[in-house]
Amino acid sequence: MNNITMYGADWCPDCRRAKAFLKENNISYDHIDVDLNKEATKKVENINNGKRIIPTLIIDGKSLTNPDNAKLSAVLGINDGYRIVLYGADWCPDCRKSKAFLTDNKINFQYIEIDKEENKWAIPMIKELNNGKRKIPTIIINDDIVLVEPENEELRQALNIDAVKEEKVYDTIIIGGGAAGLTTSIYAQRDRFDTLILEKKTIGGNAFLTEKIENYPGFTSISGPALMDKMEEQARVYGATIKTGEEVVSIVKNDNLFDVATKTSTYQAKSVVLSTGSTYRKLNIPGEQELIGSGVHFCATCDGAFYRDRDIVVVGGGNSALEEGIFLSGFVKSVKIVNIMPEFSASETYIEKLSEIDNISTHMNKTSVEFVSDSKGKFEGIKVRDNVTNVEEVIPADGAFIFIGLIPNTNAFKEVIELNERGFVKTKGLAETSVPGIFAAGDLREGAIAQVAAATGEGVLASYGIREYLKS
């Protein structure tokens, strides 16, 4: 569905050209003849600083003055033989990932930001396509193929984008574009080493998902996205190559070079830095898997907005649980924190803050047993068991957020380097792993402190490791 109005006139050649282009691409639009409508003439003049330029188009609330066909293609997502419309929101990390992938591959797509007033019409359509769920990104190709929250590999296949093997040999390939990876890259680039960052999703890592960071030196308070945007900008300014949507699946050492394969391409480097961080741990209780994304969530900044003025449960008792619970309490109706332990393990600052917030209540020493939903699969609450009395109860809520720790993202490297029994990478000296030339920095490393400042420090250490290794 489109929201396009064209202001034009029959005698105007560019209007005819634009109309023909839309028709050829089966795109419907409203046409208003400025010669017959004084209001329309005024509108065109207002848009164009008093000038009467036609065609003037309004596409999803944005005006375009006499766009050529290339501009129309870019705005409407028209490519050679197919058209792509991406429904998403600016706050949604998976939307950023898909947008970056399409942009990196020079594919036109029309972006419809569903949170904008003029695009509200898209929400019921998305829900209808997704069994009543508001899932984004939803990507429609040729009004026909619907891809919901696709991985880049799925998009690659749907759009017939060729897998590539790049010929260039980088000094170092950094796997993971969070705080550790970006810092390594900034330091290595300044040492004149040519770095490539391969990032599975979008640049920024876990810090990007955090609403507020209050313990990164230099900033009393900064949003995660703002901090990570600065780090990304710095890496780019110093010349790092960044490829997003590239999940590394294997590393093979051939002589002195490493072949680093993603699902779509293979890259070569003289050294490698692993900085893939860690992922949210699940509760692994009944109901969890089925409700992920539609009642059960792991990222407050990603999904919290869906629960404005509603009741939610937060599961966990450490820093992340309390920090995110406090953040959510700012706009939801109520937050009930369920903690398996009798005391919180979070730092005192968070515990003190909790006591000052009226709409947060705590349910201590309770084990989460099951997520409960109604006959239609709609989330209803969480069943918990009291660890002392064994009494079970259902805590009713509209959604739940789980923050119970992290597991390292090291599966792809387990055959290559030495990991500890929990899957964290063992390192020594200057962030060196068990394989010379492969370094590890950040939350995936054994003993990591799991803080942004610590991850950046580890990135510095890895860059020194690379320098020593490449010079030897």
Ligand X SMILES: Cc1cc2nc3c(=O)[nH]c(=O)nc-3n(C[C@H](O)[C@H](O)[C@H](O)COP(=O)(O)OP(=O)(O)OC[C@H]3O[C@@H](n4cnc5c(N)ncnc54)[C@H](O)[C@@H]3O)c2cc1C
E strand or H helix at 273, and its extent? Answer: strand 265-274
Nearer to ligand X, 47 or 340 (CB): 340
Altogether, the residues listed in the chain come to a count of: 472
CA separation, residue 218 to residues 79, 238, 453 (Å): 45, 21, 11
Least Å distance between CB 294 and ligand X? 20
Nearer to ligand X, 119 or 451 (CB): 451
Report the residue number, 277 or 295, with the smaller CB distance to ligand X. 277
User: Which residue number, 60 or 94, has a Cβ lying nearer to ligand X?
Assistant: 94
Integer Cα distance of 387 and 42 in angstroms? 71
Find the shortest distance in angstroms from Cβ 440 to ligand X: 9
Smallest separation (angstroms) from ligand X to the CB of 57: 38
Closer to ligand X by Cβ: residue 110 or 301 = 301
Q: Give least dist CB 157 to ligand X, A.
A: 19
**Peptide bond between residue 286 and the one before it cis (omega within 30 degrees of 0):** no
DSSP secondary structure, 47-110, as one string: HTTT---S-EEEETTEEEES--HHHHHHHHTEETTEEEEEEE-TT-HHHHHHHHHHHHTT---E
Which residue, 151 or 443, is less far from ligand X as judged by CB? 443
Tokens of 434: 């068990």
Q: Least Å distance between CB 322 and ligand X?
A: 10
**C-alpha neighbours within 13 Å on the C-beta side of residue 466:** 34
Residue (19 or 281) nearer to ligand X, CB: 281
Select 123 or 292, whichever has its Cβ closest to ligand X: 292
The amino acid present at 136, given as its one-letter code, is: I
**DSSP secondary structure of 227-248:** HHHHHHHHHHHTT-EEEES--E
Place of tokens 């290559």: 416
The H or E element that residue 127 is part of is: helix 122-129
The nearest distance, CB 425 to ligand X, in angstroms, is 11
Q: Please say which residue, 77 or 316, places its beta carbon nearer to ligand X.
A: 316
Instruction: Tell how many helices (H) and how many strands (E) occur in the chain.
Output: 14, 26
Q: How far apart are the first and last CA of the chain?
A: 60
Backbone angles phi, psi at 151, to 5 degrees: -75, 160
Contact 437, 467 (CB under 8 A): no
Binding site for ligand X (CB under 6 A): 175-181, 198-201, 205-207, 209-210, 213, 215-216, 247-248, 275-278, 320, 323-324, 409, 412, 442-443, 450-453, 455
Residues 86, 101: contact at Cβ < 8 Å?
A: no
Q: Supply the minimum distance, in Å, between the C-beta of residue 101 and ligand X.
A: 13
Closer to ligand X by CB, 278 or 463: give it. 278
We find the least distance from the C-beta atom of residue 73 to ligand X, in angstroms, to be: 31
CB of 464 to ligand X, least distance (A): 17
Q: How far is the CB of 192 from ligand X (least distance, A)?
A: 23
Which DSSP letter does residue 307 get?
A: G
Residue 304 makes CB contacts below 8 A (sequence gap 6+) with 297, 327, 328, 331, 332, 401
